[in-house]
Structure 1
Amino acid sequence: MYNFQIFQNEVWVPNKTINAYCCMTGREYEVAIAEIADAYCEAKRDQTMVRTAQGWTFETQRAQFHLVPNRYNDASQAWVLSFRIKPLQQEISQGFFEEQEKKILSEEMQREIYQVLTASFPKEEPLAMAKISKTMADMGCTKERYGFSKMKTLLEQLPFLTLKGELQGGVMQSLVTIHAVPEWDKEMDIIAFPNELDERLPEEMQREIYQVLAASFPKEEPLAMAKISKTMADMGCTKERYGFSKMKTLLEQLPFLTMRGELQGGVMQTIVTLHVMPEWEAEEPLQVEKQGLEENTLPVELDNTVNLPQKTLNNLNLAVTGMEQAPSDEILQALHAGFHTARQENTIQMHNGAYIFSTGLWSPDGKQVIASIKPTTFGPYRWYLNFAGVIQDTESVSPGKALERFAFLGSWPSFLEQLAGKALPEPWDFKESSQKSNFILKKYIQYTFYRLSLEDKICISEDRRFAAFNTGLVTPYFDDIYACFEPQEEHAGVTWRFIDFCTAAARGLGKRLVDCFSPLPEPASYFERKEDLLFDLEKDLHTDYEHIILDNLPRLPLGFVREECRGSEEALSLISSLESTNDWKKKREIYRELSDFIGETPKLYNRMRNRLEDAIKLARKQVRWNFKTAIPCYFPTGNTMSLMLPLALQDERKTDVALVVELTRSGNYQGQTILTLQQAYVDGRLLCRPNSEWLDVREIQEEEETDE
């Protein structure tokens, strides 16, 4: 038990590893873990572990185990365990191969290979022989181990496999099908893929996958399942690790993903959409993102340790020439030269686990072409080229991430607690919030920094040893609060590291701030004209009702929707379904169906439009009575100013949503969209603390979802 506790504290064991080991040895789970733990502690005590380029190895009687640094999740363990079947100790020669290939494999060897393959692949489905061969090699089941010179000859000896040739894309491919051996399956006790029998993955595993995907893909955008699967595999989130035989089955278990089939080019494709999980957004990113890899582990050249996938190379050629095909030798040479130069000049940047460098190439429209490599643990490669194409303006894509791209903040909860404790007290969470996480403050500081960066108000000292910005918040004595930073260690992925908050001339950082900057860092400014502050009742207001009703139906109060859909059994049935489920994934599908139905039913659509028009007329009357009713707000994604008007849709004394209106070039107002009250408060708080009867943080209920 003591050995097990040491092992559990120091080593993280993926499901894939322990399941495969159980399959191979026939051990029960607890026995297998204890056996590995004993071998680990014995190797440490006797100093028999062997150092490798990636980490350490130790052995049991049947297997060789590998320990590599844990860069795949935020668990406390320092190492990740993987294993290979222990090589046979015998002399290999061509004569040995010829002699062995005349023999039938022993049942023990056949069973060993069967257990490895069924732990990784489904039965009775044709699979590419290359895929089978690679998995066997990765698990130590090499052709040499069993005395064969060719993998195909070995596979033909296995009675549970059938091989056939099939013409695919004009090329003959070898396909392999694994057939069930019932008596061996019974011995394995179906331990290979346990989670397929469970209702859902544990939340810890869901969160781990969410963090990997959120760091690599945009949210609320359709993505090819193949792209999702590849990224998960590259980051160590394989289907086997979570106990599944198919990636699609695993993805269907994740509540933050929705999947649908879509016909593309005559072929049915699986499309996946990643949805926001607000309660997980506030957490720190995975260790793989924060730790990165030390600079000296990067290859010096794009050598044979770096996989250059043909698809990525085709994308490189597309960016340079406009044609998606294999690049010329000149373009390939430029790619290699670009990496070499970036490596020598130390200009490689890290973002989302990728190491980005300039290729020195340009697109036909004059945009810089970049490429990036990521680490991988699969196959003989340590790295792979994961992207090549035109550089994107990432700042405009995700304003909320600008601060984290600028500096390492440490723990978000700690960072926010420090700021909230120093600032003039105000509510930083909504009413009856399930977690007091300073949600409003986080959004405020993220978007404030983004605005400051656009205004070039992030101050950096001449010697580049100190940086600061004005948070826009004040202490109880109304002194400005500044966020201060020092240079981060080289190759940490970001340039700066947060130190602390301070006020000007206060002891410590306050004195350093005054010594470095004159004038002191200025707060963000938003107002450039009086129209940004005041709603002009003389101007016309034209509203995009279709976008509000059909595209933003979930933001409308459900009671209002039910009232306007009275008399329609189909619509009311869908609304009842919404009220009876707490699964927001199902809710999205139902809302989509209800939106389509309302759009196809003019009677319902016109009812809702008429009610919205009445609410807008009432809002204009409120503005006439009190000009402060129209609240200015800032939208980071568009870097634009707008005004928000209250819309009372159910009770004229109670606001339900906010209408966002924007002044157009013609001088009219455009009603662009609606916001929930929570969204409206977050956008309005960037400018100042809203002082309005209809937008009071103390009365706004926490919502299930929050869109940035």
Structure 2
Amino acid sequence: MNNTEILQNLIQVVDSNKNQDGWTDLALVGKPLNDLGVNYKALGYLKLRELIEEYSENIELKKDTSNQVPVFYARIIQNISPSKKSISRKHQTRGDSIPSNLLQWAWMGDFRQAVLDLKNIALKERWYYKSQNPTYPFPILSKYLTYTFFRLSKESGKIKTNEQYAAFNTGLVNNLYEPIYALFEKNKVQGKQEWFFHEFCISGVGKAGKILASNFNPLPERAQFFNSSSELIYDMEAPEPQMNWNHIIIDNVSRLPLEFLEENKPSGFLFRETANMDTIEKSKYFKSLADAIENDSKKFRTIKNRFADSLDLALKRVQWNFKTAIPMYYPSNNKMSLLLPLSLIDDEIIDLALVTEKTQSGSYLGHTILPLAWAYSNARLITRPDSDWLIAEKIETDSDVENDENE
């Protein structure tokens, strides 16, 4: 799908979901856009708004902070030809600093093809969850590539550049366990990203590999996510984690399994379908549910006790097999954590992952919960999880389009 087709689909979806003042909540754009074959994450963008910013001459964005949850809106700019391709404003700025977003730094061309090329070079691995979405066939690898670049951008000297070429270590290897590098050339197109993607390569192999070897010595190093191997193993000598119960249960009520919420619904609360709600309506709905749980002390204790039982079971599993605690990198916080499995409905089925972080005192803080797909993507940045509970092919995902514009 070319730029003009993407723009036409964007205009169609934004225009058909606009409210009375002509603005469209981005939460209502992702799924219908995906249904038309445009998946922004498959195209390499971490956020939907980053894709829309590519067409800023045709579609404008605004951020509304008047409510409890900030909301992003889009609106069609009138009297602009849909075939006119916009250049993102943030791509027009060059300098010595490296942006944390791969697509701000380099033109990747067909990002889906680039991801497929990387998959074909890399050691064989499953890069999708239980069901494969043809418009977003390898979501784990797409996130791996963009988040690995994010981490590299935070480490001085890990992304190598000279006057003609640039390169970074993907952290992946081929079937001979040789590192795979991403090679770029200086972009000659004014107003665009500073670099454009050449290809993935092995040092010294093929034309690209020879260019890499002759331009960079030493070769780019892989991303470093931890300082000591002790960070990868849960310390069973530490006391039981201190839990931020209000944040885990109240602030993240929308992440709890629906069946679990129905079993523990507050007295008098009416459950509703949220799939077609916009951001504000959904936020208000879950806020009312959270308030109802918080005000129903009996239900709150019941939910808390079930979490506590699940945590106790998780720690017993860690004691039996240290691999139960899975290291992960959290891009938004730029730090390491350990994941523990939580079973809220059935002890044999894992529903969520608890994110634990070791504090300076040596104790652990359990500070949030993640859906399993998010947990797997974050864990895969460190290494492929060798786990009996966080398994890609067993993870159900409602949609590979995550409405995370307002996180």
Q: How would you bin the TM-score normalised by the shorter chain?
A: 0.7 to 0.9
Question: What is residue 207 of structure 2 aligned with on the other side?
Answer: 508
- Partners of 1:77 and 1:471 in 2: how far apart? 28
Deviation at residue 250 of structure 1 after TM alignment: 2.9
- Counterpart among 122, 139, 158 of residue 457 in structure 1: 158
Q: For residues 485 and 280 of structure 1, do their structure 2 counterparts lie closer, same or farther at Cα, with a shift above 3 Å needed?
A: closer
Decide which of 322, 334, 341 is 1:627's aligned counterpart.
322
Shift of 1:290: 7.8
Match for residue 475 of structure 1? 174
Query: Counterpart of 1:654 in 2: which secondary structure?
Result: coil
Cα separation, 1, equivalents of 2:264 and 2:337:
29
Aligned AA for 2:275?
N
Deviation at 1:289, TM superposition (A): 2.8
Q: Per-residue displacement from partner, 1:616-635 (whole Å, max 9, x unpaired)?
A: 11111111100110000001
Distance in 1 separating the partners of 2:285 and 2:6? 42
Counterpart check, 1:438 vs 2:127: no
**Residues 246-305 of structure 1: CA deviation (Å, up to 9, x unaligned):** 9734336x57269xxxxxxxxxxxxxxx9998843434776983899xxxxxxxxxxxxx
Letter of the aligned partner of 1:403 in structure 2?
L
Query: Contact conserved, 1:419 with 1:501, CA < 8 A, in 2?
Result: yes
For 1:522, the equivalent position in structure 2 comes to 221
Q: Which residue of 1 aligns with 2:89?
A: 352
Correspondence for 1:486: 185
Question: For 1:281 and 1:76, how far apart are their aligned partners in 2?
Answer: 17
Alignment map for 1:590-609 (pairs within 5 Å): 590-609=285-304
For residues 328 and 94 of structure 2, the distance between their equivalents in structure 1, rounded to whole angstroms, comes to 38
Residues in 1 aligned to 2:52 and 2:275: alpha-carbon distance in whole angstroms: 32
Report if the CA contact (8 A) 1:678-1:703 is conserved: no
Give the distance between the partners of 2:52 and 2:360, measured in 1 at CA: 47
- Report the count of equivalent residues: 358
* Alpha-carbon distance in 1 for matches of 2:228, 2:143: 25
Task: Letter of the 1:560 partner, please give it.
Answer: F
Following superposition of structure 1 onto structure 2, how do residues 48-127 of structure 1 map, counting pairs within 5 Å?
74-75=3-4
Deviation at 1:589, TM superposition (A): 4.1
Percent of residue pairs bearing the same amino acid type = 36
Question: Residues 357 and 490 from structure 1, CA distance in 2 versus in 1: closer, same or farther, beyond 3 angstroms?
Answer: closer
1:76-126 CA distance string (max 9 Å, x none)? 699xxxxxxxxxxxxxxxxxxxxxxxxxxxxxxxxxxxxxxxxxxxxxxxx
Which residue number corresponds to residue 266 of structure 1?
none
- Counterparts of 2:244 and 2:173 in 1: how far apart (Å)? 39
- Distance in 2 between the 1:588 and 1:635 partners? 24
| 451 and 603 in structure 1: CA distance in 2 versus 1, 3 angstrom threshold | same
Letter in 2 for 1:352: R
Map 1:544-563 → 2, pairs under 5 A: 544-563=244-263
In the TM superposition, 1:99-498 aligns within 5 A as 204-207=10-13, 209=14, 248-251=20-23, 254=25, 256=27, 279-283=39-43, 289=54, 352=89, 399=100, 402-435=101-134, 436-455=136-155, 456-461=157-162, 464-498=163-197
CA distance in structure 1 between the partners assigned to 2:373 and 2:137 by the alignment: 15
- State the alpha-carbon separation in 2 of the partners of residues 354 and 425 from structure 1: 34
* 1:570 aligned partner: 268
Distance 2:379 2:6 in 1: 43
The 8 Å contact of residues 488 and 495 in structure 1, kept in 2 or not, is answered as: yes
C-alpha change, 1:287 and 1:555, in structure 2 (3 Å) is closer
Cα separation, 1, equivalents of 2:90 and 2:276: 32
Q: Are 2:187 and 2:196, in contact at CA under 8 Å, matched by a contact in 1? A: yes
Which residue matches 1:216? none
Letter in 2 for 1:450: F
What CA deviation, in whole Å up to 9, does each residue of 1:340-369 have, x standing for no partner?
Answer: xxxxxxxxxx853685699xxxxxxxxxxx
The 1:352–1:438 alpha-carbon spacing in structure 2 relative to 1, beyond 3 Å, is farther
The answer to whether the 8 Å contact 1:635/1:683 transfers is: yes
Q: Is the 8 A contact 1:631 1:684 kept in 2?
A: yes
| TM superposition shift of 1:590 | 2.8
Give the Cα separation in 1 of the matches to 2:103 and 2:308. 42
TM-score (norm 2): 0.79
Q: Give the Cα–Cα distance (whole angstroms) in 2 for the partners of residues 554 and 609 of structure 1.
A: 16
Unaligned runs of 5+ in 1: 1-72, 79-201, 210-241, 259-273, 293-349, 359-392
Relative contact order higher in (CA < 8 Å, ≥ 6 apart) = 2
Structure 1 contact 256–277 (Cα < 8 Å) conserved:
no
Among residues 311, 321, 325, which one is paired with 1:616 in the alignment?
311
Structure 2, unmatched stretches of 5+, are 45-49, 58-86
Q: Go from structure 1 to structure 2 and tell me whether the alpha carbon gap of 1:550 and 1:468 turns closer, same or farther (over 3 Å shift).
A: same
Shift of the 433–550 alpha-carbon distance from structure 1 to 2, 3 Å rule, reads: farther
Deviation at 1:703, TM superposition (A): 3.2
User: Does the aligned pair in 2 maintain the 1:663–1:669 contact within 8 Å?
Assistant: yes
CA distance in 1, matches of 2:154, 2:394: 33
| In structure 2, C-alpha distance between the alignment counterparts of 1:547 and 1:698, rounded to whole Å | 29
C-alpha separation in 2, matches of 1:430 and 1:625: 27
Q: TM-score when scaled to structure 1?
A: 0.47
User: What residue identity is the alignment partner of 2:345?
Assistant: Q
